[in-house]
């Protein structure tokens, strides 16, 4: 009986040892797999963060580039016009702005310096347009014969004013208009290659600056 049990016990011991070894190997393999998986996830997470950072940097760089390349406002008061035709049309509009507002001033019964100023605006800006017409005609440009859109829009409000209130608004508008016109003339004088147009600007600019100076003086007198 003892002889029979001894081989049986030995077989059981061998079976237990084999199972234990297999379990240990499986556990080790599982640990290795988990570690590899954890490492992969960590790497993916790092890569994701790096990708996000690169995208953010790229976006910032692009935004900076776009901001740096922003063009100046073409409608600014000192911005030169794109070409001679556009400039001449704008200059003719400016003449009409001053002439028609000045005619309105006379119809309102302005007196003294303001009346004298309005009469001079009509005379000088009529002459300015007359001198510009042959230059425009030679270049194939048709000059406008009315005020620009901004002045047409403000006209109804101006028409409702009277007395000192109108005079003050009229003179203030003359200051703003002539300052913008003077700036535009200076800007285009350095841009145009048309000799006749350059000469016209050279002749017209001092007149416009004189109008500006007078309007500024009248404006100061009104606010004193």
Do 127 and 44 belong to one domain?
no
Do 94 and 187 belong to one domain?
yes
What is the rounded CA–CA span in Å between residue 215 and residue 224? 14
Q: Does any domain span residue 72?
A: no
Q: Identify the pLDDT of residue 223.
A: 65
* Other beta carbons less than 10 A from residue 40's beta carbon: 10
Give the distance, in angstroms, between the CA of residue 79 and the centroid of all CA atoms in the same chain: 12
pLDDT at 197 over 60: yes
Closest C-alpha among 204, 205, 85, 83 to residue 138: 85
Q: Identify the pLDDT of residue 114.
A: 96
* Other beta carbons less than 10 A from residue 129's beta carbon: 18
Structural domain count, the chain: 2
pLDDT confidence bin for 52, thresholds 50/70/90: very low
Secondary structure (3-state) at 136:
helix
The larger pLDDT score, comparing residue 199 to residue 41, is at 199
Secondary structure (3-state) at 49:
helix
Segment 180-185 shows an average pLDDT of 95
Task: Tell me what the pLDDT averaged over the chain comes to.
Answer: 75
What is the rounded CA–CA span in Å between residue 43 and residue 23? 30
Q: Identify the pLDDT of residue 72.
A: 32
pTM of the model: 0.65
Q: Identify the pLDDT of residue 6.
A: 38
Q: Identify the pLDDT of residue 62.
A: 32
pLDDT at 94 over 50: yes
Q: What is the domain-level CATH number for residue 149? A: 1.20.1260.10
41 to 30, 37, 54, 166: CA distances (angstroms): 16, 6, 20, 77
Q: Of 28, 60, 92, which residue sits at a domain end?
A: 60
What is the rounded CA–CA span in Å between residue 20 and residue 10? 15
Give residue 98's domain range. 84-223
Do 105 and 198 belong to one domain?
yes
The percent of residues in the chain predicted with pLDDT above 70, rounded, is: 63
Segment 30-34 shows an average pLDDT of 42
What is the rounded CA–CA span in Å between residue 5 and residue 9? 6
Q: Identify the pLDDT of residue 175.
A: 96
Do 149 and 47 belong to one domain?
no
* Range 48-53, long-range pairs (CB < 8 A, 24+ positions): none
Cα atoms in the 13 Å half-sphere on the side-chain side of 46: 6
pLDDT confidence bin for 222, thresholds 50/70/90: confident
Segment 60-89 shows an average pLDDT of 55
First to last CA, the chain: 136
Q: Of 45, 60, 75, which residue sits at a domain end?
A: 60
pLDDT at 100 over 80: yes
pLDDT confidence bin for 80, thresholds 50/70/90: low
Q: Does any domain span residue 170?
A: yes
Q: Does any domain span residue 179?
A: yes
Task: Taking the CA atoms of 195, 199, 205 and 208 in sequence, report the sign of the dihedral they define.
Answer: negative
The larger pLDDT score, comparing residue 179 to residue 221, is at 179
Do 94 and 192 belong to one domain?
yes
* Residues 124-177: tens digit of each pLDDT: 999 999 999 999 999 999 999 999 999 999 999 999 999 999 999 999 999 999
Closest C-alpha among 141, 140, 179, 172 to residue 158: 172
Range of weakest confidence among 26-30, 57-61, 171-175, 217-221: 57-61
């Amino acid at each position: 009986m003892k002889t029979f049990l001894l081989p049986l016990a030995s077989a059981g011991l061998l079976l237990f040892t084999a199972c234990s070894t297999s379990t240990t190997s499986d556990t080790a393999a599982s640990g290795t797999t988990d570690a590899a998986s954890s490492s992969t996830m960590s790497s993916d997470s790092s890569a994701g963060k790096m990708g996000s950072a690169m995208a953010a940097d790229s976006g910032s760089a692009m935004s900076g580039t776009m901001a740096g390349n922003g063009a100046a406002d073409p409608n600014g008061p000192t911005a030169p016009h794109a070409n001679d035709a556009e400039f001449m049309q704008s200059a003719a509009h400016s003449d009409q702005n001053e002439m028609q507002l000045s005619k309105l001033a006379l119809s309102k019964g302005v007196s003294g310096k303001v009346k004298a100023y309005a009469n001079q605006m009509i005379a000088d800006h009529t002459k300015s347009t007359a001198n510009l017409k042959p230059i425009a005609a030679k270049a194939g440009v048709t000059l406008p014969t009315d005020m620009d859109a901004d002045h047409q829009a403000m006209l109804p409000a101006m028409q409702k004013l009277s007395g000192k209130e109108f005079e003050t608004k009229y003179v203030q508008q003359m200051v703003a208009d002539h300052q913008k016109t003077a700036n535009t003339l200076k800007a285009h004088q350095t841009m145009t290659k048309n000799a006749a147009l350059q000469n016209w600007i050279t002749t017209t600019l001092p007149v416009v600056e004189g109008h500006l100076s007078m309007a500024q003086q009248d404006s100061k007198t009104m606010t004193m």
